Amino acid sequence: NAGSSDAKNLRVKLVLLGDSGVGKSCIVLRFVRGQFDPTSKVTVGASFLSQTIALQDSTTVKFEIWDTAGQERYAALAPLYYRGAAVAVVVYDITSPDSFNKAQYWVKELQKHGSPDIVMALVGNKADLHEKREVPAQDGIEYAEKNGMFFIETSAKTADNINQLFEEIAKRLP
């Protein structure tokens, strides 16, 4: 790799966690295929997709993404996916305080059972629904700060901040 001393090819296992319906699968679909599905079906078990991005220093990062099922009946499966993950993206819906509480549950679970050097992001999705907002951005910011997480609000529908989410994660990899 002469002449480009910074260039690397990284492979990163990433897991998405969060309540059913917050938009995890839509975030992944937007990131990987550039599409939005208003009739997105609930995920059963988990689904796997991968996507590679290039950073400015010509490093490439291949995200191996485990999109978990948020329905309560699948909660016991989550450790299979977050164990060994380098990155956890915990998603809530800005119109749903319940989903913000659930996000905090997942953060605690990751702190207890995830790998000690895991990179965690807190994502407030459905930012396009600002008229229905019930979780102030400030609450997300403060919770993320307290827990050493990166915070961002996204919209899988409008694509707002979706690429930025993954770029910011890539920058924070050890």
Binding site for ligand GTP (CB under 6 A): 18, 20-26, 38, 40, 42-43, 69-71, 125-126, 128-129, 155-157
- Residues 68 and 91: their CA atoms lie apart, in Å, by 11
Q: Which is nearer to ligand GTP, 13 or 24 (CB)?
A: 24
Tell me the closest approach of the beta carbon of residue 73 to ligand GTP, in angstroms.
Answer: 10
Rule CB under 5 A: is residue 125 a binding residue for Mg ion?
no
In this chain, which of 31, 43, 94, 154 binds Mg ion, going by CB under 5 A?
43
Tell me the closest approach of the beta carbon of residue 1 to ligand GTP, in angstroms.
Answer: 38
DSSP lists the bridge partners of residue 42 as none
Rule CB under 5 A: is residue 25 a binding residue for Mg ion?
yes
